[in-house]
Structure 1
Amino acid sequence: MTRTASHPAVRAAAPFHPADHDDAWWRSAVIYQIYPRSWADSDGDGMGDLPGITARLEHLQYLGVDAIWLSPFYTSPQADAGYDVADYRDVDPRFGALADADALLARAHELGLKVIVDLVPNHSSDEHAWFRAALAAGPGSPERDRYIFRDGRGPAGDEPPNNWDSVFGGSAWTRVTEADGTPGQWYLHLFDPKQPDFNWDHDEVRAEFESVLRFWLDRGVDGFRVDVAHGLVKQPGLPDWHNRTHMLGETDEAAAHVLDKVKPQPTNLSPYWDQDGVHEIYRSWRRVLDSYGTPARILCAEAWVEPQERAVLYTRPDEMHQAFNFDFLGTPWVAEDLVAVIERSLEAADSVGAPSTWVLSNHDVVRHATRLGYAPGTKRKNGIGADDPQPDRARGLQRARAATTLMLGLPGGAYLYQGEELGLPESTTMPDEFRQDPTFVRTGGEELGRDGCRVPIPWTKDAPGFGFGPSDRTWLPQPEVYGDYAVDQQRGVAGSTLELYRTLLATRAELGLGRASLALVEGYAADVVALEAAGPESGRVLVLANLGDEAVELPAGADVVAASGPLADGRVPTDTTVWARLA
């Protein structure tokens, strides 16, 4: 039976998102995240590197993205895969040298790709020169004041200064041994003990990071993705806090509050997240970036902030340009919830004159081709193992294609994670002995961590390591099934996920969907997401995602320009999204 809309062409009286007439590149850009360890290996050591990235950039030109974002490649002991930085002005030898970064920037720009690099300002490595100096200098020294050192509680100072927990598990405090061999002060690390938090009340810390910004801007980068952007400033006095904040969420109902099912606890109630003082830091950074003229160099916030009204404060006109829309990432595959999160996200972003920035996968979450292979509402874990219930891989891919088609039909910017254009699933059967995420170690295996989404990319099915490098070595093992998803198995193949992404990106650019206005379309059943985009290039375009059990009829005269999967006699099947021009 086919369900038809009783009034398929009826629109909301007015768009809830007005057309964006600002032509700044970043407002509608599609940016592709490269995780350097896992993109391409040039020397056969099993670890991806900068020359490997440079050699494969044509793939991204072929795909049709506007820019790339590189996860950290700085000098680092790699305790947290490079998010523990020992030198912000150099390249780790595992990834190459500064000359390789320069060559990558030059080649990307030749291909018309902008380059955004990761910046990690909340914490450094414990091997950073500043932290080593702090340990040597002792309590009360100016060197220690660059970080957050405190005396312990209890008669002997042998209890942590407060009760804060680390995001990675265990206490957020580690006690040091002083130069004379006695137990000493404690230092704060919201993540791993090898990642001590900076003291952002210190003028020298603020000046240092403005200098780091200029160092990379002078080398030609086009912007920065800011790690843990909501965590830099801590509440004065560092009061106890009786909740542990899970930055990535643990269920796929993280956005349920958009329907007022669950009222979110504002993140700024925590003494170490989303404190108002962070905004002055980003205003000062914006002044630095703006001084480089046009085209704009940008800042994108990784800010796990609730509610949306607080999240968009990071993107006010004098602060950051973008902030990831994590509410959208966490929304279950339920039409009503998706409509609500899209509407609320755009209204919140519009309130500060910013675009929303959509994302479905990254290096910190289970890939959406796997997440969507579970029933909506399934408890979402930090990592999936062989002993866990396994996803329906085919259904997950079908829904992932539909979800991406919906996302790329929305106005604003969008981020893609490497391999999602291949439909790559999470590695869900990795033996525990290969896991490297510090979360796995610090929780005693209770949380498996993020390694499953970080497995090296398959390029060639019949090559060692699926073409990741010149040897068969890979720093994490690749599931055998990855060969079927390899680039050489999809390039030029009609209906492949790679070719779907190419079609979506080309059509999105041609129709100007990233700058269009958006309105809800009435008359469809509750399990359908129906939106109308409108703009000078696009005309009227219906973006329709069918999450129901029955095929949906399109309006008379609708001309389908993109679809996440085959249609059934012109009708939209279950778990399929279409873009269709309207007369």
Structure 2
Amino acid sequence: MNTDSTTSPPPTRTATPPAWWRDAVIYQIYPRSFADSDGDGMGDLPGITGRLGHLAELGVDAVWLSPFYPSPQADAGYDVADYRGVDPLFGQLADADKLIAEARSHGLRVIVDLVPNHTSSAHAWFVEALADEPGGPARQRYIFRDGKGPDGGEPPNDWQSVFGGPAWTRVTDPDGRPGQWYLHLFDVGQPDLNWDNPQVRTEFLDILRFWLDRGVDGFRVDVAHGLVKQADLADWKEPQEILSGREVDKPRPPMWDQDGVHEIYREWRALLDGYPGERILVAEAWVEPVERLVAYIRPDEMHQAFNFEYLLAAWTAPAQYAVITRSLEATDAVGAPTTWVLSNHDVVRHASRLGLPVGTPRPNGIGVGDPQPDAALGLRRARAATLLMLALPGSAYLYQGEELGLPEHTTLDDAARQDPTWVRSGHTERGRDGCRVPIPWEADAPSYGFGPTDASWLPQPKSWAEYALDRQRGVPASTYEMYRTALRLRRELGLGGGTLEWLESPDDVLSFRIGGIRVLTNFGADPVELPAGAELLHASGQVAADGLVPTDVTVWLRG
């Protein structure tokens, strides 16, 4: 790609080493699908603890645990009934303490999920709210409103749930008559909290202290851009999406990315800064453009924010160049690192997503009858994308199983689906179950080593035996060994830090330098030559003996 531009200069260097989180590689664990210790088909905390050696061997710096709190599981634990406990599905509070201690013995930090936009409808506060009168103190912790129309039978506004259908549900009062409506931007079992209420703010500060005192190293904040709503709850005529809009001056939806969220996070940051060990806040904020996103990671707010614009970018040299350049310039402006991510528990795995034709809109799940990805193409591109990402300055997140090259389960029986999106969308969107299937450890073991029995809360595809860890460990060309080598070299070579310098290259090639390392990704149909005299350090795919880099391959070079 022809360019000689560079990113903004780095912040002034200091004598102190950079904070650990600025270039950390953090591994997301989805507890119900990582490792099952007792054979009930549900992953659990003891199972995670027993597999921490894998993560130390892989070479990551920290783990992020998706919710394990007591919950009715209406949305796989993102409907929290008690923020200070562990659901019996996953173990006990003592198991969480042991996991944190064992992680530390392996040199791993632990980040836990925090879900502050909403509670479960089974939370004690919401139970109290249902029993309270309109305008009562218990109801004021949530967003209750009278309905429209002569009998209040219409929702207070036109907002829609992210999962499909109206974002309002009417309650029945204790006397049996229809009552007010409550807001739930997600499932009906996830009522939104009212963050204008001081009790809500005080409660979450106490929840932060509870887990900080138990030794966690930080919090990934769910729906970080949704806590504060526009005061008048005005109708929104546009399609309801979790993204807040691409243009800086475009009116923002009244339910997303309101400026009031930043006051909350400044208070949280002050609390975390009072603890030793550089505890961090990570924003899950589906905010575009990146100039709005970086407001969440100003020096007195959060430490990291997932770069979803990067996750969504097309697999072309121009698209990748544009999003990387824009991202680095925006985060440099606030002195923060960019936080790169390609997969997580909410999106189609990138080994399958990149196997769809370039330009295909990101599907919300893939099932039988949907256009199927090209598995070989998807894995080749996924490996190239990962090696490109791990060379970029900043922090990076990996999703469990991607180090095995796991694809999406794209033929999951619809009868097995549990994501509320599938039902609430009227069976028009398959949802996220396909990326949440329990991962394979041993090819010939029950449930591929996920647990001691064949039980699995979501069925595993038979093809996954070939992806099992024991089939890949020690095999030089395997995806697992590619990841492990990349993480070792990343640390040894100082990648993740420094300044990116774009190099002259053909239009279908990205090439940049960081320190003494050159990175090249070939997006084009024709092979490209390695630079003369360069030493090949690592590659996402086979490089020809004559030094030609095939299409959809990333290489790391010295010289």
Corresponding position of 1:147? 142
Residue 532 of structure 1 aligns with an amino acid whose one-letter code is R
SS in 1 for 2:519: strand
- Give the letter for the 1:580 counterpart: L
Which residue matches 2:547? 570
Distance 1:266 1:247 in 2: 18
Alignment of 1:501-512 (within 5 A): 501-512=483-494
Which SS does the other structure have where 1:501 is aligned?
helix
Q: Cα distance 1:423–1:248, how it changes in 2: closer, same or farther (>3 A)? A: farther
Match runs of 1:387-398 below 5 Å: 387-398=369-380
Structure 1 residue runs of 4 or more that deviate by more than 3 Å after TM superposition = 11-17, 19-22, 263-268
In structure 2, the partner of 1:58 is: 53
The whole-number CA distance in structure 2 between the counterparts of 1:451 and 1:477 is 10
Mapped to 2, the partners of 1:57 and 1:40 lie a distance apart of 10
What does residue range 384-463 of structure 1 map to in structure 2 within 5 Å? 384-463=366-445
Q: 1:70-219 to 2 correspondence within 5 Å?
A: 70-219=65-214
Alignment of 1:542-581 (within 5 A): 542-568=518-544, 569-581=546-558
| Distance (Å, rounded) in 1 between the aligned partners of 2:165 and 2:6 | 51
Give the AA of the match of 1:278.
Answer: V
Q: Mean alpha-carbon deviation: is it higher for 557-566 or for 395-404?
A: 557-566
Q: What is residue 513 of structure 2 aligned with on the other side?
A: 532
Q: Does the 8 A contact of 1:67 with 1:115 survive in 2? A: yes
Separation in structure 2 between the aligned mates of residue 389 and residue 266 of structure 1, nearest angstrom: 36
* TM alignment of 1:279-290, pairs within 5 A: 279-290=262-273
Give the match for residue 537 of structure 1. none
Letter in 2 for 1:104: L
Cα 1:13–1:235 change in 2 (3 A) is: closer
1:286-297 equivalence runs, <5 A: 286-293=269-276, 295-297=277-279
Write out per-residue CA displacement over residues 448-474 of structure 1, whole angstroms, 9 at most, x where no aligned residue.
100000000100000111011011000
Name the residue aligned to 1:257.
none
Q: What are structure 2's unaligned runs of at least 5 residues?
A: none
Q: Report SS of the residue matched to 1:275.
A: coil
Q: Distance in 2 between matches of 1:182 and 1:73?
A: 36
Distance in 1 separating the partners of 2:172 and 2:37: 41
CA distance in 1, matches of 2:159, 2:209: 34
**Correspondence for 2:256 among 267, 273, 281:** 273
8 A contact 1:20–1:517 mirrored in 2: no
Question: Residue 225 of structure 1: which of 220, 223, 231 is its match?
Answer: 220
In structure 1, the residue corresponding to 2:367 is in which secondary structure?
coil
Q: How many angstroms does 1:233 deviate by?
A: 0.1
Q: Distance in 1 between matches of 2:186 and 2:60?
A: 32
Does the Cα contact within 8 Å between 2:165 and 2:424 map onto a contact in 1? yes
Is the CA contact 2:159–2:240 (under 8 Å) kept in the aligned structure 1?
A: no
Paired with 2:242 and 2:477, the residues of 1 have a C-alpha distance of 36
Structure 1's 19 and 556: CA in aligned 2 closer, same or farther, altered over 3 A?
Answer: farther
Q: Deviations over 1:257-285 (max 9, x none)?
A: xxxxxx64767610010000000000000
Tell me the alpha carbon deviations over residues 557-577 of structure 1, each in whole angstroms, 9 at most, x when there is no partner.
Answer: 111111101101222110000
Quote how far apart the aligned CAs of 1:403 are.
0.2
Distance 1:361 1:17, change over 3 A: farther
Alpha-carbon distance between aligned partners in 1 of 2:12 and 2:35, rounded to the nearest angstrom: 37
Deviation per CA, 1:390-420, whole angstroms, max 9, x where unpaired? 1110010000000000000000000000000
How do residues 312-323 of structure 1 correspond to structure 2 at under 5 angstroms?
312-323=294-305
- Would the aligned equivalents of 1:19 and 1:517 in 2 still touch at CA under 8 Å? no
- What's 1:488 paired with? 470
Note the C-alpha offset of 1:379.
Answer: 2.8
| Amino acid in the other structure paired with 1:196 | P
Which residue, out of 439, 447, 455, partners 1:465?
447
Greater Cα shift, 550-559 or 446-455: 550-559
Aligned to 1:237: 232
Aligned-pair distance for 1:245?
3.1
Q: Is 2:243–2:287's contact at 8 Å kept on the other side of the alignment?
A: no
User: What's the secondary structure of 2:555's corresponding residue?
Assistant: strand
Provide the C-alpha distance between the structure 2 equivalents of 1:14 and 1:391, rounded to a whole number of angstroms: 35
Determine the C-alpha separation between the residues in 2 that align with 1:576 and 1:87.
Answer: 46
For structure 1, list consecutive stretches of 5 or more residues without a partner in the other structure: 255-262, 535-539
Corresponding position of 2:318: 336
* CA distances 1:67-107 after superposition (whole Å, capped 9, x unpaired): 00000000000000000000000000000000000000000
Q: Which amino acid aligns with 1:283?
A: R
Contact 2:8 2:332 in 1 (8 A): no
AA at the equivalent of 2:89: R
Q: Deviations over 1:204-243 (max 9, x none)?
A: 0000000000000000000000000000000011000012
Higher relative contact order (CA 8 A, sep 6+): 1
Letter in 2 for 1:552: V
Give the CA deviation at 1:16.
3.6
Specify the SS of the correspondent of 2:551.
Answer: coil
Which letter does structure 2 place at the counterpart of 1:209? F
Whether 1:362 and 2:362 are equivalent positions in the alignment is no
Q: 1:268 to 1:131 in 2, by over 3 A?
A: farther
Is 1:351 equivalent to 2:318 in the alignment? no
Q: Contact 2:262 / 2:296 at 8 angstroms: preserved in 1?
A: yes
Code of the residue aligned with 1:528 in structure 2: it is: V
**Structure 1 position 516, deviation (Å):** 1.5
**What is the percent sequence identity of the aligned residues?**
66
Alpha-carbon distance, 1:144 to partner: 0.3
Partners of 2:421 and 2:490 in 1: how far apart?
38
Supply the AA of the counterpart residue of 1:93.
P
**Kept after mapping to 1: 8 A contact 2:393/2:499:** yes
